[in-house]
């Protein structure tokens, strides 16, 4: 029997989502379409009569901005928003900033497939020579974390995302839910997927096939032990949701197909918009 409701939300589209680049820990705002997705999400939740007591986000702007826009559209701007690096997107290490053609060019398509499709294999770590290293690790937001800056990840597998997320889930979020409050997690594709793996006991093989579209709220109805009592519900226009999922699967299929990389005529690393 359902006792608690939990909402997961992958942030709205960012500029690099459109370009199939690994944005990861590079801080970027939502694209114009991402703003619209977040606002539409808020309107949908309001129309369906949902109310939130607390919202949790990562410390990346696109996650925070999504939460703000959702709450504004719901007329619930007063709801507390708590931020933690433990809800950040997966750290893609040296792959940050690259798109699929550039990854295949630099690392070979078979290696790229392994990084993307494996649950517990990490990409090469970011180092100080990387164009985005200083932008990430000199950012003042990372001085607020509950671990020293030098202990923050330099790369992560999906398993490691779950490992750093679980302490925050168990110690901070679970008590809020068990107190009877309705919670929204406005986070990222991989942090949401990692938590779904934990809650739904998804296998390491099957989790790679779980896709969450941007800006689509996921409702989980949980029992007293915070286990789902029914399948997750992606709320909204189901035709649009399935089209969005198909689009993401198509992008993944292109990456996993026989890609013949050629030298790219522009810098391997785009300039950040922030």
Decide: 66 and 192 in contact? Cβ < 8 Å. no
Residue with tokens 């992008």: 251
130 is in an annotated binding site: no
92 is in an annotated binding site: yes
Helix (H) or strand (E) holding 43: helix 32-47
89 catalytic, yes or no? Answer: yes
180 is in an annotated binding site: no
- The CA distance from 34 to 244, in Å, is 13
140 is in an annotated binding site: no
- The CA distance from 237 to 252, in Å, is 23
21 is in an annotated binding site: no
251 is in an annotated binding site: no
- The CA distance from 149 to 155, in Å, is 14
The active-site residue, picked from 37, 40, 89, 102, is 89
100 is in an annotated binding site: no
249 is in an annotated binding site: no
The active-site residue, picked from 11, 107, 130, 188, is 11
10 is in an annotated binding site: yes
75 is in an annotated binding site: no
11 is in an annotated binding site: yes
117 is in an annotated binding site: yes
Q: Between helices 100-107 and 109-117, what is the axis angle to 10°?
A: 120
Buried b (16+ CB within 10 A) or exposed e, 152-167: bbbbbbbbbbbebbee
12 is in an annotated binding site: yes
Helix (H) or strand (E) holding 52: none
- The CA distance from 264 to 204, in Å, is 34
Helix (H, G, I), strand (E, B) or coil at 2: coil
232 is in an annotated binding site: no
How far from 220 is each of 57, 88, 106, 217, 230, CA to CA, in Å?
A: 17, 20, 40, 10, 8
34 is in an annotated binding site: no
Decide: 6 and 181 in contact? Cβ < 8 Å. no
133 is in an annotated binding site: no
CB atoms within 10 A of CB 96: 24
Decide: 244 and 13 in contact? Cβ < 8 Å. no
- The CA distance from 71 to 42, in Å, is 6
Please enumerate, by residue number, every residue annotated as part of a binding site for substrate.
Answer: 10-17, 62, 89-92, 116-117, 189-190
* Residues contributing to the annotated binding site: 10-17, 62, 89-92, 116-117, 189-190
- Catalytic sites, residue numbers: 11, 89
């Amino acid at each position: 029997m359902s006792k608690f409701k939990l909402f997961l939300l992958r942030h709205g589209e960012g500029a690099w989502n459109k370009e199939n680049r690994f944005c990861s820990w590079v801080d970027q705002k939502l694209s114009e379409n991402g703003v619209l997705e977040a606002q539409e999400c808020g309107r949908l939740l309001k129309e369906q009569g949902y109310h939130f007591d607390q919202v949790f986000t990562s410390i990346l702007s696109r996650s925070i901005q999504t939460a703000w826009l959702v709450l504004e559209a719901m007329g619930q701007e007063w709801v507390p928003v708590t931020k933690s690096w433990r809800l950040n997107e997966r750290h893609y290490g040296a792959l940050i900033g690259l798109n699929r053609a550039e990854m295949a060019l630099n690392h070979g398509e078979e290696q790229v497939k392994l990084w993307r499709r494996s649950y517990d294999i990490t990409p090469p770590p970011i180092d100080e020579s990387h164009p985005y290293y200083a932008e990430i690790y000199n950012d003042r937001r990372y001085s607020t974390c509950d671990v020293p800056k030098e202990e923050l990840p330099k790369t992560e597998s999906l398993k490691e995302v779950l490992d750093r997320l679980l302490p925050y889930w168990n110690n901070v979020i679970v008590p809020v839910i068990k107190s009877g409050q309705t919670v929204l997690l406005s986070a990222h594709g991989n942090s949401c997927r990692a938590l779904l793996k934990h809650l739904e006991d998804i296998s390491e093989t099957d989790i790679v096939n779980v896709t969450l579209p941007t800006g689509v709220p996921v409702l989980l109805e949980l029992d007293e032990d915070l286990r789902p009592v029914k399948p997750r519900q992606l709320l909204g226009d189901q035709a649009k949701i399935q089209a969005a999922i198909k689009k993401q699967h198509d992008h993944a299929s292109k990456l996993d197909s026989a890609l013949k990389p050629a030298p790219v005529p522009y810098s391997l690393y785009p300039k950040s918009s922030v």
